[in-house]
Chains A and B, each alone.
Chain A
């Protein structure tokens, strides 16, 4: 009975839990944390259940309230989004359990209010991923964005509100462009259901209104995912945010928006239309290559760990957009696989960041000296995540990059291939620079300040390290099983939607 409703329960668990917590704040604050964990665990359970169901029977369509699709709202879970759903729910749960203490130290008395926003955010992005209705997608994007504005503003008191306000302005522009694109599609087809729009489009494909609709949707989603020329809001918003917020927003928000782009390209407009009628893909791949190079170099220019990680995200977004627009199955497979892998890699890096912030509070490069001596486990996690960002087998980063490069060669997009290889080299510099700084203790000239000379072992609390260990194992496990994921889950869907 519950199994049949798991697509809805996936979203409803965190949504209801957030309402319950909002009430519990006045009744008994001690109950808030367990309720939040139950809500997040409910969505992990539903996602796991759906994963095995999709493996067995293929796509699942769920009708809200029993109304059939063109009229009612439909949730659809298929091979494309099931992996994203599993990753979102797992990352949200692991981060929540791991950051209990750092939420308390960073936010003080406001931490239960933060839980409410956290769960709303998770419900929003799970909904964005699961929905098959274009307008519903807009509303859920705004729910998750509004929650993230609130969370990001709770950080550094001088800078966070202003950074968050700039994010509000750009976020509103992005979402409004998307809504406008949906409006044009609605004028032309009279429908809002993705599958229905897809079947109604072929006779009117030549219309310029469809092109305008596609471009509006695309630009809207690009703003939200911080694709290179539109990335301005991201570094400040993520740098000044409380670390427990950026740990969940940074890995998930941009990846979910990339998923939305791929979903719109494949399931609404159709890959053939996007590639052949529009003839935009050469430009987009060139822009993506520019994004990769620019992101990598801007990351290289930073002197602060948080900002460096923020620019690495900008760079990684370029990988996925480029892969999706290469126009062949390899590139698309790489892009979808990289959504999963990059969510995990970024999450691992931000977990490391959270541990460092919890112990040392400062993350400028000169404050990172002696980290290997004082926080060996955390730095082991950093090396593992860094190696995965560079793309060394058997970590998962290697496999998706491999598919992306194969796709680039097949499409003859040499600029993209060069950008990928170059950015891998730059990430190697980025990672080993931190390793070098962390390996040596603070300067001799500061010896008066550090009387004891030797760094003392001062690791992060066990839950934080446990989460890092879990995600680190995940990085290798996803790498080893990436063949299974590609063959059983990603490739069948892509071949089917590219062929049709």
Chain B
């Protein structure tokens, strides 16, 4: 039992992203209101962004800018990879954030179109009017 607990505490970042992802997925599936679904979608995407950010982290490491490494001295500095957090996942996530913002924009535009047509955002009401 305590093994399991240390396992969970040790890898809490993964558990956190899974919980967030499930919250988002639940909202996308179970909520009736389209805006709430969109919020769920955003939580879902943010969970994955959090996952990527957390895998770039290292204990006692700093941002990947070489301290004092300006001008002529830059070339002489030895670079210890363990001193710097991994910037690559962060760079990837900049792109993923752009993608998720764009998706949200498109989805909101669609929601506006739906609202103008049906005057409601509740999915069951829309379904009822479509059937008529």
Contacts and interface: CB of A to CB of B under 8 A. Distances in A.
B63 interface: no
Contacts of A168: 41, 103, 106-107, 110
Contacts of B92: 135
B38 to A, nearest CB: 9
Interface stretch (B2-10, B48-56, B70-78): B48-56
Contacts of A186: 55, 89
Given A169-B41, A183-B52, A142 B99 contact: yes
A187 B55 contact: yes
Nearest to A145: B103
At the interface, is chain A mostly helix, strand, loop or mixed?
helix
Given A142-B99, A153-B110, A183-B55, A172 B41 contact: yes
A417 interface: no
Nearest to A153: B110
A157 B45 CA distance: 29
B90 interface: no
Nearest to B107: A168
B45 to A, nearest CB: 6
B41 A162 contact: no
Contact of B126 (A157, A162, A176): A162
B61 interface: no
Interface residues of B, number: 28
Interface string A174-185: 001001100100
B44 A176 contact: yes
Interface string B85-114: 000010010011001001100110111011
A176 B21 CA distance: 10
A172 B107 CA distance: 11
A342 to B, nearest CB: 28
Contacts of B89: 183, 186
A180 B117 contact: no
Contacts of A164: 110
A354 interface: no
Contacts of B99: 139, 142, 146
A22 interface: no
A149 B109 CA distance: 11
Interface string A144-165: 0010011001000111011011
10 contacts: A135-B95, A142-B102, A142-B103, A153-B110, A161-B114, A161-B117, A165-B107, A168-B41, A169-B41, A172-B44
Interface of B: 25, 28, 34, 37, 41, 44-45, 48, 51-52, 55, 89, 92, 95-96, 99, 102-103, 106-107, 109-111, 113-114, 117, 126, 130
Given A149-B106, A165-B34, A168-B107, 5 more contacts: A146-B99, A146-B102, A149-B107, A162-B114, A173-B44
Interface of A: 135, 138-139, 142, 146, 149-150, 153, 157-159, 161-162, 164-165, 168-169, 172-173, 176, 179-180, 183, 186-187
